Amino acid sequence: MVLFPHAKINLGLNVVRKRHDGYHDIESVLIPISLRDALEAIVDPDVPAGKVQFTRTGLLIPSDSSNDLVMKAHAALQADYALPGLRMHLHKVIPTGAGLGGGSSDAVHALLLLDKLLEMRIPESTLRDMAAGIGSDCPFFLNNRAQLAEARGEKLRPLAIDLSGYWLMLVNPGLHISTPEVFANTTPTGESSNLAYALAETPMRGWRLVARNVMEDFVFAAYPEVQVIRDRMLAMGAEHAAMSGSGSTVFGLFLEAPPAQKWPSDYRQWVFQLGE
């Protein structure tokens, strides 16, 4: 059985405060996008029960495959359920350390895939708890729709934000940016930005002011090439352009298909029209 874990972009990202548990309360609107990995699982009687033979292809991932979030998802399931021997394969298309949530989506889709393949019928609340235990932005990927994320990222509310028809340009400069490093260097704003309301009530050209990604301050200073991409998208006529999550990917939203751009050879670029 194969699932296709999707990526996300963040419309606005407010780091509200540092919490006593070391995490931060955030406020962000996450939108699923159709850039996808592929994740396959099969039951293999030659693999001992509870074990998994895991392989990866596609984009290189800097960390060892035993530390992959797919393995963390398997371990979380194995802790509560008796699993048969499995083979799993992940084909990476979504770059890592890119602010696109690829690893988190892979982990959540591993839970969904094994639930489906093994007909486990795991209760939704258990899936939510498992996802939140794997990573702060994991629960978002349980539902393929726009959501407002608050608290650590696990408090979610569906939003009726419709970007269908817009053209999305994604540019990744090939930089792997560490999320904890960005959180540690971002000054919390101390207040809610009423993000869902601001996005709904403000024309897209004003989103840069009312729905800022506050992580840009540190990342643009530490990695100026990320800001160069954002500025170029605005100069190309983007209605809105911003860094996604903790970077390094920048996205631009356009009314018309943006003209092909020449970026440095180690950059990756995707352009597609958003659907319903």
Binding site for ligand C5P (CB under 6 A): 23-24, 26, 135-136, 152-153, 179-180, 183
Shortest Å distance, C-beta 152 to ligand C5P: 4
Closest CA to 37 of 85, 96, 87: 96
Question: What is the closest distance, in whole angstroms, from the C-beta atom of residue 145 to ligand C5P in the complex?
Answer: 21
Which CB, 32 or 245, lies closer to ligand C5P? Answer: 245
Q: Give the number of other Cβ atoms within 10 Å of residue 35's Cβ.
A: 22
Give whichever of 45 and 62 is closer to ligand C5P, judged by the CB atom: 62
Distance CA 275, CA 107 (A): 24
Query: Which residue number, 135 or 252, has a Cβ lying nearer to ligand C5P?
Result: 135
For residues 195 and 29, the answer to whether their CB atoms sit within 8 Å is yes
Residue at shortest CB range from ligand C5P: 136
Choice between 51 and 176, CB closer to ligand C5P: 176
Told to judge if 137 belongs to the known catalytic residues of this protein, a careful annotator would answer: yes
Of residues 18, 137, 162, 266, which has the active-site annotation? 137
Query: What is the closest distance, in whole angstroms, from the C-beta atom of residue 107 to ligand C5P in the complex?
Result: 10
- Least distance to ligand C5P, CB of residue 89, Å: 23
Closest approach, Cβ 182 to ligand C5P, in A, equals: 8
Q: Give the three-state DSSP class for 112.
A: helix
Nearer to ligand C5P by Cβ, of 89 and 152: the residue is: 152
Give the whole-angstrom CA distance, residue 92 versus residue 60. Answer: 8
In whole angstroms, give the CA distance from residue 114 to residue 242.
Answer: 35
Distance CA 226, CA 61 (A): 21
SS3 content of the chain, % helix, strand, coil (to 5): 30, 30, 40
Distance CA 248, CA 205 (A): 22
The least distance separating ligand C5P from the CB of residue 261, rounded to whole angstroms, comes to: 31
At 247, phi and psi to the nearest 5?
Answer: 80, 175
Task: For tokens 């486990």, name the residue.
Answer: 120
Cis peptide before 248 (omega within 30 of 0): yes
Residue among 180 and 264 whose Cβ is closer to ligand C5P: 180
DSSP symbol at 213:
B
Strand 2-3 to strand 24-36: parallel, antiparallel, or no bridges (unpaired)?
unpaired
18 has catalytic annotation: no
Active site residues: 8, 137
